[in-house]
Amino acid sequence: MTGNPHRNQARTGITRRAFTVGMGAAGIVAGTAPFNVVRGQGAVLKVGVLLPRSGVQAGIGQDCQRGVEITNGILRDIGLPPLQIMNGDTESDPQIARAQAEKLINEGAQLLVGAFDSGQTTTIAQVAEQRGIPLVINIAAAPPITEQGYKFVFRNFPTAPVILMDAFANQKEVFQSSGATPKSVVFMHVNDTFGTAMQKGIGDIFPKADMPYKIVETIAYDPKARDLSVEVAKAKATGAEALLMVSRLNDAILLTRELIKQRWSPMAVLSMGPGWYEDQYLKTLGNLSDGPLSFVPWYDPNKKLSKALVAALAKAYPDVNVATNHIYTFEALLVAADAHKRAGSTDPKALADAIRKTNITDNVSPGPGIRFNEKGQNDKLSNSAIQNRGGKHVMVAPKAAANAKAEVPMKPYDKRG
Amino acid sequence: MTGLIYGLSALGLSVIFGVVRIVNFAHGEIMVVGMFGTLVLFRQFGVDPLLAMPFIAIILFGFGYLLQDWVIRRVAHLADHMQFLLMAAVAVMLIAVCLMVFKGDAQGVRVRYALDSFAIGSLIVDKVKVYAGVAALITSGALFAFFRYTDSGKAIRACGDNYVGALVVGLNVRRMFALTFGIGCACLGAAGAIMLLLIDVHPYLGPAYTLLAFTIVIVGGMGSLPGALLGGVLIGTSEALAGIILQPSLKTAFSFGLLILVLLFRPQGLLGRASR
């Protein structure tokens, strides 16, 4: 090139040096592009785990967290990619749950898991759907959550009607095997989203379930109640032989204390939700926690992954019994890791597509495995009946999986020393 | 019985407002600190919450005295909303400290008599509530006697009734205000110690009790000590009756219904003085 170099520069706006640097940079970018794809595939999936870690459900939220803590070790053992967990605290409040979901997404969460409670899960599901981030529900039973036509919401937990149908079937089996059947019950339930969904479900299903008892009174109460003496006095006054319960943890403890104070030992406590089998319930009440029957989503002890989960939890938390909170929180994260591996990407849309095609047969919960229907619901789950005994749980129904016989009537509280 | 404990806790709010004219938005949180203090004494030294009550009251008295003298006094000349914000900030800080020290778990004590009850014919009365109610009555009685019969109590009342007059006659108003805030917090400490016998404590328990105390004090009459106790008993009784006669889930709605009625027909509260 001849003539004034400055004139050439003015004409093209590019110097030879700039051109060379630009080409070099373009070459580096082009040359490493395939590695970018590889890096995208190998990137760790950021999972926002929303749980009630404080507030009235703190005990349960922290129990779910134990399921989170042991997950990456198990995933590694079965050849799934580990997850980067981002913790969010819903403070047991649906509106805070919504804000925390937004916050985790803004901070880079590519998938959400949570949130134990139906009310909190409902608000998180709305955020997940709006933002196009998959939500894998660990625990929440209110049916409407997967009836909204959401495309990014998936639930590997039975809905309230399924829990109830299985519960009534298992109750009949328990009464038959123990030889003791209550003729009347008082139905007490928390009046939150889950409790009212269960109450509605019982209203629909009970008349068709052909149960041997009648419900003589229904008592709704505030899950945040500081005092349940009036509720128990009212239930006792009906003269019912047993209690049918839909509870949370704190109220289950309060109710048990009130039963003892008011000198009432029902023939059975039949719980269709959390609370009565939780570790904190067992530890807080000691031998007074023995006896209640819980009809809940549990685990299949014969599955290979169940044994791995039991071993991992025993190693990390020797004093903690495996329970619903650990099982279904772990399985939600298992779904996330499995989808991440198959999608080969952390793109939320690709993850949602992969979750829709989930087919995990090596899992923990009872039933054929984890698969989602067109609504995002795993409708193949079944429930179990367990009883508290000596600070542990025994499975009393269904017969095929039972490892003990139900003790009904339960030992009166005043005869326990 | 529960109403008496509600009343004792509300006394703290009423005492402080009646004299210092500060609306204590950290009321519930200070009580929660008292509950945690009682929990520590029980777990570390096996001290029964009823016996721990005076210790906790003294510790919270000191806390309240210093809080008023070092912090609140310096914003007393600012607009009301600034004072509200200060107390809300204190509340948030107390929650954060409790969370750091005690974590989010609900924790409680199990005393020997925790699950006992008295049987009078077919009537069964919770032993813990009876003890707690009696303790609340004794504490309230001591507080009334202090304000009625001691020189310090009379001086505090004088400061509340006529601030300028108190200054003119040479009362050390700064000290009296700090003393009042300390006494208010001591009430909360005593109520917290008793309350721990009835419910488990966790750091987020405070706001519900702040709201409850405001309801009680407004029903009874802001600044009126007998009013606070009466308000507590009324709210406790109305909640129990609503649970029995209507639905237990309507208990809270019923107590707020009572609050609305009082605000509509007797805004100064049942035993409060109408402002002129």
Count the alpha carbons within 13 Å of A40 in the hemisphere toward its beta carbon.
14
* Mean pLDDT (whole number) for B216-227: 88
Determine the CATH number of domain A42-158+301-356: 3.40.50.2300
Instruction: Please tell me which of the candidates A62, A221, A230 has its beta carbon nearest to residue B240.
Output: A230
Assembly ipTM: 0.77
Q: Between B96 and A403, name the one with better pLDDT.
A: B96
Kindly calculate the radius of gyration of chain B based on its CA atoms and give it in whole angstroms. 18
Predicted confidence band of residue A33 (pLDDT cuts 50, 70, 90): very low
Cα-Cα-Cα-Cα dihedral of B51, B52, B55, B56, to 10°? -140
Contact check, Cβ <8 Å, B117/A262: yes
Q: Between B132 and A100, name the one with better pLDDT.
A: A100
* Domains in chain B: boundaries: 2-205
Q: Over pLDDT 70: what percentage of chain A?
A: 90
Contact check, Cβ <8 Å, B252/A219: no
- pLDDT over 90 at A22, yes or no: no
- A65: three-class secondary structure by DSSP: helix
d(CA A382, CA B56): 51
Amino acid at B71: V
- pLDDT tens string A95-111: 999 999 999 999 999 99
* Domains in chain A: boundaries: 42-158+301-356, 161-296+384-415
- pLDDT over 60 at A365, yes or no: yes
Predicted confidence band of residue A15 (pLDDT cuts 50, 70, 90): low
Model pTM above 0.90: no
Contact check, Cβ <8 Å, B252/A53: no
Contact check, Cβ <8 Å, A230/B115: no
Predicted confidence band of residue A11 (pLDDT cuts 50, 70, 90): very low
Give the pLDDT score at B241: 86
Give the pLDDT score at B77: 82
- pLDDT over 50 at B68, yes or no: yes
Which residue in A244, A269, A246, A267 sits closest to A256, CA to CA? A269
Instruction: Please tell me which of the candidates B204, B244, B252 has its beta carbon nearest to residue A222.
Output: B252
Instruction: Please tell me which of the candidates A55, A59, A261 has its beta carbon nearest to residue B126.
Output: A261
Cα-Cα-Cα-Cα dihedral of A337, A338, A341, A343, to 10°? -110
- pLDDT tens string A243-296: 999 998 889 999 999 999 999 999 999 999 889 998 889 988 999 999 999 999
- A284: three-class secondary structure by DSSP: helix
- pLDDT over 70 at A5, yes or no: no
Contact check, Cβ <8 Å, B208/A53: no
- Interface with chain A: mutation pick from B210, B246, B247, B249, highest number of A CBs within 10 Å: B249
* Mean pLDDT (whole number) for B126-148: 89
Task: From chain A, pick out residues whose CB is under 8 angstroms from the CB of B119.
Answer: 263
Instruction: Please tell me which of the candidates A234, A253, A263 has its beta carbon nearest to residue B248.
Output: A234
Q: How far is A389 from chain B (nearest CA, A)?
A: 21
- pLDDT tens string B241-272: 888 888 887 888 888 898 999 999 999 999 88
Report chain A's mean pLDDT, rounded to a whole number.
Answer: 88
Task: From chain B, pick out residues whose CB is under 8 angstroms from the CB of A222.
Answer: 248-249, 251-252
Give the pLDDT score at A336: 97
Predicted confidence band of residue A225 (pLDDT cuts 50, 70, 90): confident
Predicted confidence band of residue A39 (pLDDT cuts 50, 70, 90): very low
d(CA A119, CA B230): 37
* Mean pLDDT (whole number) for A332-337: 97
| Nearest residue in chain A measured CA to CA from B238 | A230
**CATH architecture of the domain formed by A161-296+384-415:** 3-Layer(aba) Sandwich (3.40)
- pLDDT tens string A171-202: 999 999 999 999 999 999 999 888 998 899 89
Q: A38, exposed or middle or buried, with CB in 10 Å at 0-12, 13-18, 19+? A: exposed
Task: From chain B, pick out residues whose CB is under 8 angstroms from the CB of A262.
Answer: 117, 124
Q: Between B52 and A6, name the one with better pLDDT.
A: B52
